[in-house]
Structure 1
């Protein structure tokens, strides 16, 4: 195990270099470790609240969301301040920065393009940035709900799935027009959601349940299942190659920390 991390949030393992990158929210750092020995190789200091981490295969860069105003979810940082996406190479050098209007939460990168879609709940919008231009190119208001945190992308059908907490809704955006085409009610207090391109489903992890949605067509969605989970389980990982969904439960009171594994049928 790796110890001494100040609120670890996002992580990415680069198999080409055998390096593990971990973003730490408490001190705003990104730490790079050897993937075999877990030796700390480098520490990159960004700003407060280093958070989500993604890999851009097109450029072989790592993208980290950090900083900015964050009044929601009971955490107050940088009143009125903008956040950003830091662009790092796999040696840990920062090679770019894209300014956001407030703290960036979950974000998704196009594989067939250069756009990145970013949830910015303190502005109640999705901000769209261009990784080549290095700037925000569009701002889409989230009109159906607020507190938009998790996100997933269906690039083939040009659909972006955004999970909201107030009220609990799945906001579906057309990524060509920036408009919401559907917003069905869903599980409360979501913190992760995943699109299963092979089965045309969306898995939404929330407060005590996993909702399973079927994509009837790009504009219509039916909930086909709801699976009970421990009360505090809201985050996880979907691995398409294994057809398994992993859900995490933190330690709380008499309930020990655990990982639930769900087979996809």
Structure 2
């Protein structure tokens, strides 16, 4: 009987330790905002830091919802989209951009308007979208290309052909390179955005399903999550050399790098957030797992407010947004651009 009690206490201790980092909670759930009557998959989010508003695409519902975090509810709904996959908010021009998979469009809306100001026709499979504050350009993934356009006029300047359909993207501002996951080819392409060409290809070999990607700009490390087999991989962004590998949970659809805490958050559709600790640029370890909910495979990290948003989409229950506090909480006032900017703080 005593042995059983000791084993139980040991197991509970492991669970408690798995959700803590250096005596601190890895992630603390602050609150949950329900998306009433919205079921199915959710897309990748954007954040308006000034107004505290979160933009959430509902892929299967063909709608987009803007949540006011101060009020804790949706204050703007946009219908008539065709599988919205990703959204980008541009605070300077008060515009938001919605990439629609099946329509092949990037539709451009002014804040608060349900009527598109214009659109860019990519013809097929519009995917991820990202803003480059240094070069003041927007990059949108579609078909087997990366579209490049200027948000001041919303005209397509050109595109860069890659080996397959682009998924997750991460920008290394200092070197003007956009790292793009290409799961159909088991590789990551580094696109030179200045010269609009592929500068480096990183083959992943046996590792497949590389949808999630993040970047450590200071350590110059590319962080990639693969689904088959479930692995976390780290690469030197200069040479493409692999420096680390870890087993992870399955069905990881999104990830983010928290530079202040040297933590990497992986969102799994299985209902868990896995946290990886960066010991140094070449060494990583599993820090723990934090319960989320099944279907929570998209996330958005806003470092300045110390919050991690997780989009939970389900088929039989209403969707919801979980808001977690990262270790240390808020660290600074919101910056102008909360999407695609590199963290310049020292690690």
Same fold (TM over 0.5): yes
Alignment of 1:138-149 (within 5 A): 138-143=200-205, 145-149=207-211
> Alpha-carbon deviation of 1:144?
5.5
Structure 1 distance, partners of 2:192, 2:142, is: 17
Correspondence for 2:287 among 205, 224, 229: 224
What is residue 74 of structure 1 aligned with on the other side?
A: none
2:77 aligned with 1:15: no
Instruction: Answer whether contact 1:144 1:171 (CA < 8 A) is retained.
Output: no
Larger Cα-atom Rg:
2
Q: Does 1:130 align with 2:206?
A: no
Distance 2:103 2:191 in 1: 25
Displacement of 1:40 in angstroms is 1.3
Q: Residue 302 of structure 2 corresponds to which residue in structure 1? A: 239
2:163 pairs with 1:87: no
SS class of match (1:241) = helix
Q: 8 Å contact 1:162–1:171 — kept in the other structure?
A: yes
Secondary structure of the structure 1 residue equivalent to 2:284: strand
In 1: Cα distance, 2:314 partner to 2:222 partner: 32
Q: Could you list the per-position Cα deviations for residues 135-176 of structure 1 after superposition, in whole angstroms to 9, with x for gaps in the alignment?
A: 111111013511111100001101000010001111111112
CA–CA distance in structure 1, aligned partners of residues 244 and 162 of structure 2: 26
Q: Does 1:121 align with 2:183?
A: yes
**Cα contact 1:144–1:183 (8 A) shared by 2:** no
Compared CA separation, residues 36 and 241, structure 1 to 2 (3 A): same
Shift of 1:5: 0.7
- What residue is the counterpart of 2:9 in the other structure? none
Q: Which runs of 4+ in 1 moved over 6 A?
A: none
* Structure 2 residue ranges without an equivalent (≥5): 1-76, 328-347
Q: How many residues align?
A: 249
Give the corresponding residue for 2:121.
45
Candidates 182, 207, 211, aligned match of 2:244? 182
Q: Which has more helix, going by share of residues?
A: 2
Give the alignment partner of residue 59 of structure 1, picking from 135, 150, 164: 135
Distance 1:144 1:243, change over 3 A: farther
Deviation at 1:47, TM superposition (A): 2.2
Counterpart residue number, 1:214: 277
Which structure has more RCO (C-alpha within 8 Å, separation ≥ 6)?
2
TM-score (norm 1): 0.91
Post-superposition Cα deviations, 1:93-133, rounded to whole Å, max 9, x if no partner, equal 00120001110111111121211111111111111110111
State yes or no: 1:27 paired with 2:90. Answer: no
Which secondary structure state, in structure 1, belongs to the residue aligned with residue 304 of structure 2?
Answer: coil
What secondary structure is seen at the aligned counterpart in 2 of 1:27? Answer: coil
Contact 2:294 2:314 (8 Å CA) reproduced: no
Residues 172-216 of structure 1, C-alpha deviations (whole Å, 9 max, x = no match): 111121011111001111000000011111001112110111100
Please give the alpha-carbon distance, in whole angstroms, between the structure 1 residues aligned to 2:149 and 2:92. 15
**Unmatched 5+ stretches in structure 1:** 68-82
TM-score, structure 2 as length reference: 0.70
RMSD: 1.1
Q: Which of 161, 166, 191 in structure 1 is aligned with 2:253? A: 191
SS in 1 for 2:138: strand
**Counterpart of 1:246 in 2: which secondary structure?**
strand
